[in-house]
Structure 1
Amino acid sequence: MRRILRDLKILILANLWLVPVVAGLVGALFYFVAPPPPMHARMATGAESGGYHAFAERLQAELEQQGFELELVPSRGSRDNLAKLGAGEVELALVQSGQELTLDDEARKSISGLGVMYREPLWLFTTRKVKFERLADLLELRLAIGGEDSGTQAVTAALFAANRIEPTAYPQQWQALGGSRAADALLARELDAAFFVGPAENALIQRLAAEPELRLVSLRRTEAYLARLPYLSRLEVGEGMLDMANNTPDRDIVTLGPVATLVAGESFHPSLTPLILEAAKTVLKNGSLLDSAGSYPAKPPLSLQTLSEADYYYDKGLPILQRYLPFRIASLADRYIILAIPLLVLLFPLFKAIGPIYQWRIRARIYRWYKHLREIDQQLYKGQLNGDISAEIERLEKLEDELARVEVPLSYSSELYELHMHLRYMIERLHAVQRRQAAIPAP
């Protein structure tokens, strides 16, 4: 056991040069590796009573289980969300599809789509006395077209523009109201009709659907609208889908609607993409009244550039490490593995050199003694050995004693003993020369 420990000590001492080399490479690994992604982000969500905020709260609760803090920032709607995203006030925002088309090319390049979260139907509720066939029937009615900068107003404005109807031409009857304010005004009969955008499960939509004096109407000519507004989609709502007790709607209807898109700004860390999308997938896994289970999240609209991390998620799912490890651990491991590969490529030849260098270092302990023996041998051969031979013999005998204290691994003992033999051989040769010199009579 003592022999093994001694050999191990010799091996370590012979390769101490590796310590600063490996330390330098490991230091470079930690210096150049990208910092871990932040575990905090801000999301613009629209009004606190809206569908965006309700979805964001569910997403926030799901992310909290992963140790990620999602801060919700209320806003006036989709346009305001884009403004906050562009100003760097938030890293994420829920935006109604089509709103990105209002941005210039430079501003659009600064945002990226993470995915579609769900569809947002456009609901038109009217009082029972209103007769509605097409949008032109709303011209003389008291109508809420959605709040300022809201997604509702953006959709209604697009529909009216397709019919060459200018909302500003009817300032008395049409009001820029949306959300709970428009719902309260409609229920109080201060309005004849009102547009709303949001998921069928939204509390505000459910509240209106449960009101027997209101009616949910169908939009006609949907194919004509879709040809002009491709960011909208057609939605079929079956009889009683919103409220079976009140049979709302009272017949099968068709409506249009954009999709709620999760958008990231330039300050968003791309590595957070799979974490956010997987949390959204969990939140949306059961579907909704209008969206089947497992349909969302889905790839964002083509009008938005997509992060490569989002493309990977939709094509292959979570990164391999994140399938088995918590996000924080998997993210760190993923970063270090990327740089660890070139590190190992550099270390491999170094470790491969350990054997030859170790062999050279051990043999150097033995072979350095041969230099003096070689010098004496050459002097004997040329007859140039000067000085006192006795002193040289004494020096070699001291070297022999020192050699006895040299430690080498057991596998190199044969070479050490050969040196002992050669050293003794040289001492005997000097003794022979000394005897010959003593036998020669003085002149």
Structure 2
Amino acid sequence: MQRLKHIGLFIRTNLWIIPLALLLVWLLFRFLDPAPPKVVVMTTGSETGGYHQFGLALKEELAKEDIDLQLRTSRGSLDNLQRLTDGAGEVQLGLIQSGTELLLQPAQRRRLVGLASLYHEPLWLFQRSGLAITRLSDLNDKRVAVGSEGSGTWSVLRGLFIERQDEQRLQQLNSGLWSKMGSSAAVDALLAGQLDAAFLVLPADNHLITRLAAHPEISLINLAQADAFAARLQFLEALEVPRGLLNIAQNVPQQDTKVLSPVAMLVGNQYFHPALTAVVLEAARKVLREGNLLDPPGRFPAGEPMGLELSKEADYYHREGVPFLQRYLPFQVASAIDRYVVLLIPFIAIMIPLLKSMGPLYRWRVRARVFRWYEHLRRIDKLIYSGKIKERYAEEIDGLNKLEGELNHVDVPLSYAHELYSLHLHVRYMIYRLETLQAEDEGTEKPGPA
């Protein structure tokens, strides 16, 4: 029972730590980074394009982690860049084509971070049979589709003609002398004989490429200067399309063919929560794990080539893979643990000295139960030294006797008992001292020692 009393005293002495700890927790939560959102908006491309198809597959994978990826269709890469950098925050993720980021102002580029390159999307140049086009200059008097304005196709072609310093072709490209149309419309027009050639930026297994490859009057152009352009334009690679890759039955292309290829890049803006990086990239890895006709399995997503600086979270993923906790726990659980560990460190750092103060406070509280009686003895001492005690002998002796009786009911832990017994002795000494002074003043016999 006595032990329980002391435990109760210890608890009552240190109850102040509870509201202080709660206040500290509130402050840490208040200034901790907010939890990653469960809804992310990504701008893709046209519904028939490769960007949107990738977005649909990514949406399905992220749904398994309880993340809702909402897709917004667009005209293409340039549209996506505009949405990502307009400061509205309506989209947080986007797909762009390598090289299009070069069109941004430095302030706009600083709003973006690279997450990964996803796959090659070659710049295909198809022609109607018999035209013998091998170089860009051969297109001077031809009817050519150059992609819709704002698309990646249109952007790559601008780069090619700027590099050739072909102002006339660039003016044609900007003035509408060549047809600016989307991929589906360009394929239909080429097959209908309304065009001589068409530029398309699409994955090799896209249904529009398959459709053109199967047509006997359409052929893929082997771009003779592909390696030269790739050497000068770092956002492009020269790829070799093996003979028969697009259609084995019809042997399309009929020879190994060089094409230029940018890569599709996944980028985020300042509104994208960095904690989502690993889960988004892991979902992308699952979507791309089988590769495609030009990209071997496991090649993408990758940290290179990238025209934008990788975020530190993306860089970690490409070097180390998924963070440790996310390998074994659902994303939402792992993310919460990561955040609370960050919270726990300053909490512990602050609480340790506070907890260490609990022992001294308890000792002070116990000793206070004994030492507060010494104030009474000190007051009597002052009366003795001032000579004012003579009229109060009986009153003070009676008070000390009552105090001694109260001390018999004071309960302290055994480790502090010596202080209680010392007080008993001091009280008894003060009673003896007062009785001695009283006897001297009244001329009576002195009392014996206590």
Residue 101 of structure 1 corresponds to: 102
Q: TM-score of the superposition, structure 1-length normalised?
A: 0.88
Q: For 2:391 and 2:5, locate their aligned partners in 1 and report how far apart those are by CA, in whole Å.
A: 41
CA distance 1:371–1:158, shift in 2 (3 Å): closer
**Alpha-carbon offset, residue 255 of structure 1:** 0.9
Report the secondary structure of 1:175's partner residue. Answer: coil
State the 1:15 CA deviation: 1.8
Taking structure 2 as the reference length, the TM-score comes to: 0.87
Specify the alignment match of 1:265 in structure 2: 269
Equivalent-residue separation in structure 2 for 1:160 and 1:212 (angstroms): 30
Distance (whole Å) between structure 1 residues aligned to residue 336 and residue 45 of structure 2: 33
Q: Cα gap change, 1:405/1:138 in structure 2, threshold over 3 Å: closer, same or farther?
A: same
Q: Deviations over 1:207-260 (max 9, x none)?
A: 323334432232212221123322100112112222323332222212111111
Deviation, structure 1 residue 73 = 0.7
Q: Distance in 2 between matches of 1:307 and 1:73?
A: 23
Q: How much does 1:45 deviate?
A: 0.7
State whether residues 94 and 267 of structure 2, in contact with CA within 8 Å, keep that contact through their aligned partners in structure 1. yes
**SS, match of residue 261 in structure 1:** strand
Match of 2:189 in 1: 185
Cα separation, 2, equivalents of 1:116 and 1:167: 28
Tell me how far apart the structure 1 counterparts of residues 307 and 154 of structure 2 sit (CA, whole Å): 20
Q: What RMSD, in angstroms, separates the aligned Cα atoms of the two structures?
A: 2.9
Could you tell me how far 1:173 is from its partner in structure 2? 7.9
Partner of 1:38: 37
Match of 2:448 in 1: none
Alignment deviations for residues 87-107 of structure 1 (CA, whole Å, 9 cap, x no partner) = 234222111111111122222
| Structure 1 range deviating more: 309-318 or 143-152 | 309-318
Q: Tell whether 2:47 aligns with 1:80.
A: no
How far the C-alpha of 1:118 sits from its partner, in A, is 1.2
Could you tell me whether the CA contact under 8 Å between 1:183 and 1:208 is conserved in 2? Answer: yes
Which amino acid is 2:365 matched to? R
Distance 1:81 1:378, change over 3 A: closer
Distance 1:378 1:110, change over 3 A: closer
Which residue does the alignment assign to 2:2?
A: 3
Alignment: residue pair count: 440
1:348 to 352, 356, 359: 352
| 1-structure distance, mates of 2:188, 2:18 | 75
CA-to-aligned-CA distance 1:298-340 (integer Å, 9 cap, x gap): 2255642332322333333334444444333333443343343
8 Å CA contact 1:29, 1:336 repeated in 2:
no
In the alignment, the residues of structure 2 paired with residue 174 and residue 347 of structure 1 have an alpha-carbon distance, to the nearest angstrom, of 71
User: Which deviates the most, 315-324 or 379-388?
Assistant: 379-388
8 Å Cα contact 2:98-2:307 kept in structure 1: no
Q: Offset at 1:384?
A: 5.7
CA contact 2:98–2:306 (8 Å) conserved in 1: no
Closer, same or farther: CA 154–383 of 1 in aligned 2, 3 Å: closer
Confirm or deny: 8 A CA contact 1:94 1:260 kept in the other structure: yes
5 Å-filtered alignment, 1:10-409, equals 10-87=9-86, 88=88, 89-163=90-164, 164=166, 166=169, 169=172, 174-299=178-303, 301=305, 303-376=307-380, 385-409=389-413
- Checking the alignment, whether the CA contact within 8 Å between 1:261 and 1:300 is kept in structure 2 is no
Structure 1 residues 264-273 or 48-57, which shifts more? 264-273
Deviates more, 1:342-351 or 1:88-97: 342-351
SS of equivalent residue, structure 1 residue 46: coil
Q: Percent identity among equivalent residues? A: 47
Distance of aligned partners of 1:16 and 1:386 in 2 relative to their CA distance in 1, 3 Å threshold: farther
Cα distance change of structure 1 residues 151 and 213 upon mapping to structure 2, 3 Å threshold: same
Is this contact kept in 1: 2:127–2:196, CA < 8 A? yes
2:336 and 2:176 mapped to 1: Cα distance?
60
After alignment, is 50-59 or 7-16 more displaced? 7-16
